[in-house]
Amino acid sequence: MSSCRGMLSLGAVFLTAVLCLQAPAQDETGAAVGSKTPKVSIPEPTDVDVQVFSDHVTWLANPFLKGRLPGTPEMAMARSYIEHWFTAAGLKPAWGGDNDQFIGAGATSYRQPFKFGGNRKLTAATFEVQGSTRKFVAGSDFRGMVQGASADTTADIVFVGYGISRGKDDYQSFAEDTDLEGKIAMLFYFEPMNDQGKSLWRKAGWTRASSSFRKIRGLRNRGCAGVIMVIPPGVSDDRASLALIRDGRRKSIDCPVVVLTADAANELAKVGDPEGRDLLELRKLADSGQIIVPMKTKATLAVSVEVVNQKLAENVGGLIHGQGKLAEELIVVGAHIDHLGVGRFGSRAPQQRGTIHPGADDNASGAAALIMMAERLVKFYRALPSGAEARSVLFVGLDAEEQGLHGARHYTRDPLVPLKKHALMINFDMIGRITDHQLRLDGAQSGVGLAALIDPLLEASPLQIVKGKNIMMASDHAAFYGAGIPILFSIITPFHDDYHTPRDTSDKINAHDGARVVELYTEITKKVAMHPKSITFIPRRQRGARQ
C-alpha cells in the first residue's frame, strides 16, 4: 500500500492507480461486523484504514484531476473512480430500474445525469390581472425574470409584504406555518423602510434579509406557483427601476417570476385588495410587521426562459438493498465529489485564480469516507440473518455542489423513492483536516428520536463531537432538509485558511481522525438502518433554532 501511495502522489494514470488501490479496505476489528446486536462501541481504525483513507484523498486531489471541475474530462475520471470503488464494494446500481416494485429493482446504472448552469435568456413574457382593464406592457410595466422558470400560470394572488422569513429583531413577514400552495406570491423588493425610503435596519444600504433570491426560495419552499416582485413606492435606491433591477442569472427558481413597477402594482392593489388600500398603504403595513393579504383576484404569469450551453453532470450512486418491511425506506449517505477546478469562481485566493485548487479536504475527504463506509456496510448487510429488518442504503457522490448544490437539488426533484420514504440523509463535507479531534455534527434534532438513538455512539467515539447550535446550510444536506428529510451533517471545526485555495492539498490531511469519522458513521448508519421506529422529520418551527 505504501508503494502504491508513493506512485499516486506522482500523478499516475487512472487505471494504474485503481489497480494499486486493490488492497483490503480495512481489517476486521472491534465488534464483529454483522453481529446481530452491534455493541455501543466504536472500533479504532487500523493502520490499513488510515492508509486507505489517505490513498483515496491523494488520488482525488491529485493535480492530474485539475480540481475536479464539473463538465471537464477530469471530473469524468473522478466519477469513474467513485463508481469503480462502489462496484468493488458490492453496491448495486441505483438508477434505471422500477422503483415501484422495489428500490433499485432492475437498475442498470450507477449514474444519475442532469444538466446545470448555462446561459439563461428571456424569450417571452406576458402579465395579466383579472378584473383590470389595463394592458400591462412588457418593458415599461413589468419584466419577466430569467431567474425564474418557463411556465404559464394563472392563480390567486397573496400579498406577503417583504417576503422575509426572518429579519432583524425577529421581524417576519408571515408566520412559520404559512402555506402558499398553488398561489402567486406578491412581495416587495428590499426590506422595511422609513418615511425617507431607507432601511429601518441599517444606516446605509440594506441587510442580507433583502436578498430577492433568498425571499423567492423561501416562498417556493412554501409551495407558491409564481412570484410577483414589486418595486416599493417611495423607496430611495438608485437601482429601483425596471431596467436596473438585477436578475439572478446563475441561481434559478423553478417557478415563473415577474417584476412590476410601483405604478403597475398599484393597479393590481386597486382591483385586488379587499379593503381598497393602495400600494403605499400596503407598504406601510409591511414596514410595521407581519402581513398576509389574500387578494380578491387572480394573475396570469406567462414566462418563457431558454437555457443554452448547459453542462452535463452526474451523481454517482450505489445501493444496498434492505430486508423486510424496513427495506422500503431509504437512508442516503452522500458527499460531493466536485471542486473548483482552477478557481475561476469561488476561490478565496483571487490572486491565484488559474491555479489548480486540489480540494483535498473539500471534498476528497468526504468521498473517501463514502467509499470506506460502503465497504463496511455491504459486509454488515451480507452477514444479517434472513429475518432481520433493515432499511435500504444509497451511497451517492453528489456532483456540482460548489456551483449551487445542483446534484443534491436534482436528486430531491427526482428521488430514487418518494421523499416521504427517506428516513435520513447523512452528509460529509470537509472531514479531512480535523484538529484536536473535534468534529462538528448538525441535525441531531431534525428527526424524532434521532438524538437519543445516536448519542451513545457519539459518546463512545474518541472524537470530540461539537453539536452545532444551528444547522449549517452551505452543503448538499440543505436540499434534503428543505425537502423535509432528517439530516446528519459533519464538518471540521474550526475551519482552516486553506479552504477554497490552492493550499488545500492531500499532504495536510489528518487521515487517522478521518478514518475515525468513517467508523463512527458506519455504526450510526447501522443503528439507524435497524431502528424499528420511523424517524419523522421535525420542522424547525417545532424545535426552535437551537440544535
Residues 26 and 56 in one domain: yes
Asked whether residue 446 falls in the same domain as residue 465, the answer is yes
- The residue out of 308, 331, 351 marking a domain boundary is 308
- Is there a single domain that holds both residue 283 and residue 402? no
Range of the domain at 299: 119-308
* 86 and 184 share one domain: no
pLDDT in the model for residue 250:
59
DSSP type of residue 223: T
The domain tally of the chain equals: 2
Predicted pLDDT at 87: 98
At 76 the three-state DSSP class reads: helix
Tell me: the pLDDT tens digits for 447-479? 999 999 999 999 999 999 999 988 999 999 999
> What residues contact residue 471 under an 8 Å CB cut-off, 6+ apart?
442, 443, 446, 477, 478, 481, 487, 489, 547
What pLDDT does residue 542 have? 73
Spatial distance between the Cα atoms of 268 and 80, rounded to a whole number of angstroms: 54
Q: Which three cell numbers stand for residue 376?
A: 463496511
Q: Are residues 7 and 53 in the same domain?
A: yes
Please indicate, yes or no, whether residues 348 and 440 belong to a single structural domain of this protein: yes
Same domain, 56 and 40: yes
- Domain of 277, CATH number, reads 3.50.30.30
Ranges under pLDDT 50 in the chain: 1-38, 544-547
Within 8 A by CB and 6+ apart from 431, the residues are 361, 365, 366, 369, 439, 490, 491, 492, 514, 517
Mark whether 30 and 108 lie in a shared domain: yes
Compute the C-alpha angle 310/319/100, nearest 5°: 85
At residue 36, the 3 state secondary structure works out as: coil
Which pLDDT does position 540 carry in this prediction? 75
Rounded Cα–Cα distance for residues 313 and 311 (Å): 6
Q: What is the pLDDT of residue 13?
A: 39
Q: The domain that contains 493 carries what CATH number?
A: 3.40.630.10
Residue entry with cell 430569467: 146
What pLDDT score does 30 carry?
Answer: 36
**Residue 127, SS3 per DSSP:** strand
Q: What are phi and psi of 51, to 5 degrees?
A: -65, -40
At residue 455, what are phi and psi to the nearest 5 degrees? -55, -40
Same domain as 445, residue 316: yes
pLDDT at 92: 97
Instruction: Count CB-CB contacts under 10 A for residue 205.
Output: 10
Task: Based on the fold, state whether residues 380 and 514 are members of the same structural domain.
Answer: yes
Last residue of a domain, one of 308, 330, 349: 308
Query: Does residue 347 sit in helix, strand or coil?
Result: coil
Same domain, 140 and 200: yes
pLDDT for 251: 65
What pLDDT score was predicted for residue 249?
58
Distance of CA 169 to the CA centre of its chain: 28
Domain stop point among 267, 289, 308: 308
Kindly state whether residues 428 and 524 are assigned to the same domain. Answer: yes
